[in-house]
Amino acid sequence: MHSADRNQLQLNLHKALLDSIACYEEISVFNEELLHIGMQSDARIILDLGARFKALQADAQKCDLILHHALEKTTAEGVQSLLQQHRQLLEQVATQNRLISEKIHGMMSLISADISQIRGGMTAMSGYRGGREHKGSVLKGAC
């Protein structure tokens, strides 16, 4: 392989690593936003976040594929510090994902408890229904 070809492959790897790092930095910033979303968030906000997450995930997948191909074609000489930065960022995103997962499970538990409480209230209210002859308010019946 010619020196110029080797240099071009190294440049391609360097760029692929930088692009991948940029993708995962965006995901990390997004994850931090998710970690600070409250329980009372509007459904539209949640849907928008879901769409944004899918777009970030698709970008990262493309970056990873390009990086994978670049690593197959050349050695990682001269990019060890970028590889280290990339690895640390992936570990950070993995930690954030675990925290987000725990938060989601907590939210699901609260929602489940709320649903159970509502169902219990509906069951209790069903016992207060009057017969056909007593339709209307309590005040009408008293007059």
Q: What is the DSSP string of 1-16?
A: --HHHHHHHHHHHHHH
The verdict on residue 136 lying in a domain is no
Residue indicated by tokens 């995103």: 93
Q: Say whether pLDDT at 34 is over 70.
A: yes
What is the phi-psi region of residue 100: left when phi exceeds 0, alpha when psi lies from -120 to 50, beta otherwise? Answer: alpha
Q: Where does the pLDDT of residue 28 fall: very low under 50, low under 70, confident under 90, or very high at 90 and above?
A: very high
The verdict on residue 42 lying in a domain is yes
The verdict on residue 133 lying in a domain is no
Q: Where does the pLDDT of residue 111 fall: very low under 50, low under 70, confident under 90, or very high at 90 and above?
A: confident
The verdict on residue 105 lying in a domain is yes
The verdict on residue 17 lying in a domain is yes
DSSP classification of residue 136: S
Report the C-alpha gap between 113 and 143 in whole angstroms: 42
Closest CA to 14 of 59, 70, 89: 70
Total domain count for the chain? 1
Q: Say whether pLDDT at 92 is over 70.
A: yes
Centroid of chain to Cα 12: 30
The verdict on residue 123 lying in a domain is no
The verdict on residue 48 lying in a domain is yes
CA triplet 67, 35, 43: central angle to 5 degrees?
A: 105
Q: What is the structure's pLDDT at 86? A: 96
- Show the domain range for 32: 3-117
Helices 3-35 and 43-73 cross at an angle (nearest 10°) of 160
Q: Chain-wide mean pLDDT for the chain?
A: 84
Q: Say whether pLDDT at 88 is over 90.
A: yes
Cβ partners under 8 Å of residue 107, min gap 6: 39
Q: Say whether pLDDT at 24 is over 60.
A: yes
Q: Say whether pLDDT at 71 is over 80.
A: yes
The verdict on residue 100 lying in a domain is yes
75 within 8 A of 9, measured Cβ to Cβ: no
